[in-house]
Amino acid sequence: MGPKPSKSLGQRLMEWRPLVSIYESRFWRRSGLFARIAGIPFDQELATLSREARLEKARRVLDLACGSGIYTRPFAHRLAHGRVVGLDLSTPMLAQALRRSREEGCGNLDLVRGSALDLPFRSGCFDVVNCCGAVHLFPDVPRALAEIQRVLAPGGRFTAAVFRRGPSEREVRRAEQRERMMGVHAFSREEFEGRLADAGFVAARFPHEHGVWMLAAAEKSAEASV
Ligand SMILES: C[S@@+](CC[C@H](N)C(=O)[O-])C[C@H]1O[C@@H](n2cnc3c(N)ncnc32)[C@H](O)[C@@H]1O
pLDDT tens-digit series, residues 168-210:
999 999 999 989 988 889 999 999 999 999 999 999 999 999 9
* pLDDT of amino acid 80: 80
* One-letter amino acid for residue 95 of the chain: A
Residue 133 reports pLDDT greater than 50: yes
**Cβ-contact 66, 76 below 8 angstroms:** no
pLDDT tens-digit series, residues 49-85:
999 999 999 999 999 999 999 999 999 999 989 999 9
* pLDDT of amino acid 226: 86
User: 34 in ligand 1 pocket by Cβ < 6 Å?
Assistant: no
What is the rounded (10 degree) CA torsion for 81, 104, 90, 123? 0
Q: What is the CA radius of gyration of the chain?
A: 16
Instruction: Give the Cα separation of 142 and 140 in Å (integer).
Output: 6
* One-letter amino acid for residue 139 of the chain: P
User: 117 in ligand 1 pocket by Cβ < 6 Å?
Assistant: yes
- Comparing 10 with 37, the larger pLDDT belongs to 37
If you average pLDDT over residues 119-144, what whole number do you get?
Answer: 97
Nearest to 152 by CA among 74, 78, 44, 54: 54
Instruction: Give the Cα separation of 176 and 222 in Å (integer).
Output: 37
Q: Which domains does the chain have, with CATH numbers?
A: 9-220 (3.40.50.150)
**Cβ-contact 133, 45 below 8 angstroms:** no
Percentage of the residues of the chain whose pLDDT score is greater than 70: 97
User: 49 in ligand 1 pocket by Cβ < 6 Å?
Assistant: no
pLDDT tens-digit series, residues 8-34:
888 899 999 999 999 998 888 999 999
Per residue, the 3-state secondary structure of 27-93, as one string, reads: CCCCCHHHHHHHCCCHHHHHHHHHHHCCHHHCCEEEEECCCCCCCHHHHHHHCCCCEEEEEECCHHH
The DSSP symbol for 163 reads E
80 to each of 75, 76, 107, 127, how far by Cα in Å?
Answer: 10, 8, 10, 15
Closest atom of ligand 1 to 29 CA is: 9
